[in-house]
Amino acid sequence: MDLNSILSQLGVGSKDTVYLSITPGVGLELIQLDMSSKSVKNYAYRPLEYNEPLREPASIESFKNAVSELFAELKINPKSNVVLNLPMVMFGSTNLPLLLADDAVSEALISEVEQSYIFKRYEPVVSWADASNVQSGDMRKLFYSAVQKNVIDDIKAVLEGLGATLTGVEISLTSLLKALAFSGLAAEQMKDNISWNLMLITQSGYSICSMIGKNIVDFYEEPLAIKSFEGDEIYNAINASAQITLMSYPANYLYIVSETDMVSAELLSKRIQIDGIINFWENNNYKKQDAIPVSLEVLEETAHKISLEAIGIATGSAVNLPVKFNFLAKSATDMSDDPNEPIHVVLGSSEFDISPNAARNIALLAAAAIIVPTLAAFIGVPMIGKQKEAQLNEVNTKLEQTNAEITRMQEEQNKENDFDVNAEIKKVLTNNRSKLLAYTALGEAIPAKVWVTYFIAKDDGKFDIKGNSSNVEDVYLFYRNLKESLITTKLRLHKLEMTTNSVDEAVSIDPSQQTDYTFEMTNMTKSELNPAPPPDPNAQPQADQNAQQSNKSGGLLSKPLLNFGKEN
């Protein structure tokens, strides 16, 4: 069973997670990152008009068409989880009493947000977070952000109509900060205890985000009618306004990011005179290089459009900022994603989306995999130990009995001096080994057309083999094989005869017909093969017996070949 099957049985979904960013100046971006190489592996965009005054897409139908085209272009299954980046609508900070309950905090923030002209027309969705646990007496500082509820509802409905699921919504400010951290563009600035200011230039003005490392300290937004200026007037206007604002936020670094084609961050960095190091990034058409490497499958012209917001939203949970918002949470302080949102997991070269229920199932299985063997070991080890101890006691008892028997036998030998236990054991082992070698050699050496009709192996290493064969060559082959296997036995071919009654009959046999031969191989002496019978008073004279024996020896060999194959 492969990994995908196992994860599927545990409830791990097969949905992809894709990341969308509504980016003014670019349109709608769809992006996926390769986290192992920190590069863009999939990217496409479609122009999408954005209504700056109302801070919303100009047409939800255009958004729907753009999403469908992007999924089709990148061959992505529409039944995917989607995390969305929205342009920042409102961002601010406030101080509220520590004892104020979360519901009361939400109501206070909603009341404050509704003072904005945008939220006088549309119901807001507010998300907030503590400002890095900044407290002053009985007060605490909060950062909050708000977006239009109808915009989120419309986008969610469009995605659901396509089969996708909206699982997260972030704002451009936090997405941009995550991109700067992920790409390393602001590595120096984001070190602990380093003070720096992020200056964002948009078509509607500029904003200053005061930072210490990755922590947001303060935020200031200055509306400015950038479109009303011509040529260098815009740089002079921003410089004049920002010089005064930056005096309120002393820092070691200033990082300028321009998101409008009307302002070059590089040119602006040369106009602003402040104490500290100035860095910049063109998040517009003035861009000269990519923030992170891009797959070769993405055309160079297309890759040039990738925004910091798109990169930031696609980092997912790879970059953790102290201040983060979630506009899909059930409560204002719930900074986690939707409880039913799948979690994207990367295992080597495989990526999976796992739901909270599946994660719980896996956790339970993992716990069971650890606890069950532990309990089994805890219970089973003592039982096994007792069984082994009983077996050991039994072995020790038998050993003691054997030792006692050996001692008894040795004592008897010493007394009678007529029995050597060790010699007898050695003798038995030697005899058994000789017999085993003979049996083994017999089985390995016999050719296909040789039949053994008689075999005996004695304790003194003597053995006798009798058999039949259809040809002489196989008999000699059998004999040579046995000689090579039983080198030390002094084997000889004692007898080889044709199964006929007379020499005349042997000569007259048709060569095409099968002829049988009998043979005998042994290392016994003639007297051992034919022990003398006990005396018989009625026996014939010896001369008559020899005459009868002579008449029966009509085979190919009339007497034993004692020297056949004998080693000198």
Q: Percentage of the chain with pLDDT > 90?
A: 36
Task: Give the SS3 label for residue 507.
Answer: helix
Compute how many other C-beta atoms are within 10 angstroms of the C-beta atom of residue 390: 10
CA dihedral of 269, 272, 276, 281, whole degrees rounded to 10: -20
Compute how many other C-beta atoms are within 10 angstroms of the C-beta atom of residue 405: 10
What pLDDT, on a 0 to 100 scale, did the predictor assign at position 158?
95
The highest-confidence range among 422-431, 460-469, 544-553, 558-567, by mean pLDDT, is 460-469
Question: Torsion-angle region of residue 194: left (phi > 0), alpha (psi -120 to 50) or beta?
Answer: beta
Tokens (6 digits) for 439: 């049996």
Q: 1-10, 65-74, 248-257: which has the minimum mean pLDDT?
A: 1-10
Show Cβ contacts of residue 489 under 8 Å, excluding neighbours closer than 6 positions: 438, 461, 463, 523
What pLDDT, on a 0 to 100 scale, did the predictor assign at position 384?
81
Kindly give the residue spans of alpha helices, DSSP state H, lying in 418-525. Answer: 421-445, 472-485, 503-507
What pLDDT, on a 0 to 100 scale, did the predictor assign at position 155?
95
Task: Give the SS3 label for residue 540.
Answer: coil
Query: If you count DSSP H runs as helices and E runs as strands, how many of each does the chain have, helices first?
Result: 15, 22
Q: 177-181, 290-294, 434-438: which has the minimum mean pLDDT?
A: 434-438
Domains of the chain with bracketed CATH:
13-185+292-354 (3.30.420.40), 187-290 (3.30.420.40), 435-552 (no CATH)
Could you give the angle at which helices 472-485 and 421-445 cross, rounded to 10 degrees? Answer: 150
How do residues 230-280 score in pLDDT, each as one tens digit?
A: 888 899 999 988 888 898 899 999 999 999 999 999 999 999 988 889 999
CA distance 356 to 232: 54
Mean pLDDT for 203-232 is 89
* DSSP conformation class of 359: H
Q: What's the predicted TM-score (pTM) here?
A: 0.59
Compute how many other C-beta atoms are within 10 angstroms of the C-beta atom of residue 214: 21
DSSP-derived secondary structure for 229-284: --TTHHHHHHHHHHHHHHTTS--SEEEEEE-STT--HHHHHHH---SSEEEEEE-S
Using the CB atoms, write b or e for 445-459: b if 16+ within 10 Å.
bbeeebebeeeebee
Chain-centroid distance, C-alpha 135: 46
DSSP-derived secondary structure for 208-243: EEEEETTEEEEEEEEE--GGG--TTHHHHHHHHHHH
Chain-centroid distance, C-alpha 97: 50
Mean pLDDT for 5-30 is 76
What pLDDT, on a 0 to 100 scale, did the predictor assign at position 421?
57
Q: Which of 235, 234, 221 is nearest to 270 (CA)?
A: 235
- CA distances for 387 relative to 374, 380, 397, angstroms: 20, 11, 15
When pLDDT is cut at 50, 70 and 90, the band that residue 88 belongs to is very high
Angle at 190 between CA 184 and CA 194, to 5 degrees: 145
- For the chain, state the CA radius of gyration: 50
DSSP-derived secondary structure for 46-87: E---EETTTTEES-HHHHHHHHHHHHHHTT--SS-EEEEEE-
CA distance 500 to 497: 8
- CA distances for 358 relative to 1, 47, 109, 354, 536, angstroms: 19, 38, 36, 6, 100
CB 31 within 8 A of CB 310: yes
What pLDDT, on a 0 to 100 scale, did the predictor assign at position 374?
74
Kind and range of the H or E run holding 454: strand 450-457
How do residues 507-518 score in pLDDT, each as one tens digit?
A: 555 555 567 889
Q: Percentage of the chain with pLDDT > 70?
A: 78
